[in-house]
Amino acid sequence: MPTFYGTQVSSRLMLGTAQYPSPSVLAEAFRRSGAGIATVSLRREAAGGGAGQSFWDLIRDLGVPVLPNTAGCHSVREAVTTAQMAREMFGTDWIKLEVIGHADTLQPDPFGLVEAARILSDDGFKVFPYTTQDGILAGRLLDAGCEVLMPWGAPIGTGLGLNDLYGLRTLRAQFPDVPMVIDAGLGLPSQAAAAMELGFDAVLLNTAVAKAGDPAAMAEGFARGLEAGRLAYEADPMEPRDMAAPSTPVLGLAVLE
C-alpha cells in the first residue's frame, strides 16, 4: 500500500466527503470501499448552525486519516491562510494544496501553487499539491518541499477520466520514486484501473461516487477497479504490438494435402 510522508495508508482509494445525499450514505461508501483517506474542506467543516461539529464527528467516526484541502482558493495568501486554519481545526499537518488559476476548468495556477507549497513546507506542512501532468512544474514542487504529487486526470467533477495518457505516463517515468495520486476527473472504476496500470500509487475522487445513483456501490466498484489495475501493473503486462501473433503454436499441427 502507498506511503505518504512516512505514513502507510490502508487503501489506494482516497475519498472526498462532499455532495453525498446523507451522512449515512457517506459512511456506507467509506465502509464498502475501504477508503484509506478522507479529504475534507475547511469551508464544509465550518458551516454554521452546528453542522460543522456534526460533520467533524462523522469524519472522526470513519476511522481513517484526514486530509484537509484548500478547495476554492484562488490566491497564495488565501490558500496559506486556509491551510493554517485547517491544521488548527483538524490537528494534522497534512494539507491538500489547491491554488485555482481558472474558474471554468479549475486548473491549478502553477506559479501560485509552487509559491504556496514552499511557504507551507517551510512552515512544517506535509503538502499534497493538486497539479497538472507537467513535468517541469512537478520538479518545481519537489524542490519546494513536496514529497507527493497529485496530477489531475481531467478537470474536477467532469468524469472524463485520464485525458492525457502520454503526459501522465511521462510524468510517472520522470519521477519513478515519488508517490503520485491521480486527483480529479475520474468517473468510472475502469479509469481508476487504468491509472493503476500506469503505475500511479492511488486515486482521489469525490463526485463520481457522491453523485452516483448508489454511492456506496460505486465506491466499492472503484475499490475493486483499483485492485485489478494494480495487480495488472505488478504482473508486468505484455507490450502492445501492431501485428497479430498466434496464441496457439503452429509447430506440430497436422498438414492436409
Across all residues in the chain, what is the average pLDDT?
A: 91
Q: Which residues partner with 7 through β-bridges? A: 4
> Out of 35-44, 63-72, 161-170, 195-204, which region has the weakest mean confidence (pLDDT)?
35-44
Q: Which phi and psi angles does 249 have, rounded to 5°?
A: -60, 140
Task: Based on the residue annotation, tell me whether 211 is a catalytic residue of this protein.
Answer: no
Q: Is 157 annotated as a binding residue?
A: yes
Phi–psi pair at 15, nearest 5 degrees: -115, 140
Q: Is 207 annotated as a binding residue?
A: yes
* DSSP per-residue string spanning 70-99: -TT--SHHHHHHHHHHHHHHH--SEEEE--
pLDDT score of 46 more than 90: no
Beta strands in the chain (DSSP E): 3-4, 7-8, 13-16, 37-41, 66-69, 94-97, 126-131, 150-151, 181-183, 202-205
Does residue 199 have a known ligand-binding role?
A: no
Cα separation of 227 and 72, whole Å? 31
The fold adopted by the segment(s) 3-235 is TIM Barrel (3.20.20)
pLDDT at 256 over 90: no
**Residue 206 known to bind ligand:** yes
Q: What is the per-residue pLDDT across 167-219, written as a single tens digit (0 to 9) for each?
A: 999 999 999 999 999 999 999 999 999 999 999 999 999 999 999 999 999 99
pLDDT in tens, 121-134: 999 999 999 999 99
Cβ atoms < 10 Å from Cβ of 247: 5
- 50 in a known ligand binding site: no
Whose cell is 507527493? That residue is 148
Domains of the chain, by residue range, sit at 3-235
Which position among 96, 126, 140, 230 bears the catalytic label?
96
In the chain, the percentage of residues whose pLDDT exceeds 90 is 78
What is the residue type of 193?
A
Share of the chain above pLDDT 70, in %: 92
pLDDT bracket for residue 47 (50, 70, 90): very low
**How many Å separate Cα 33 from the centre of its chain?**
15
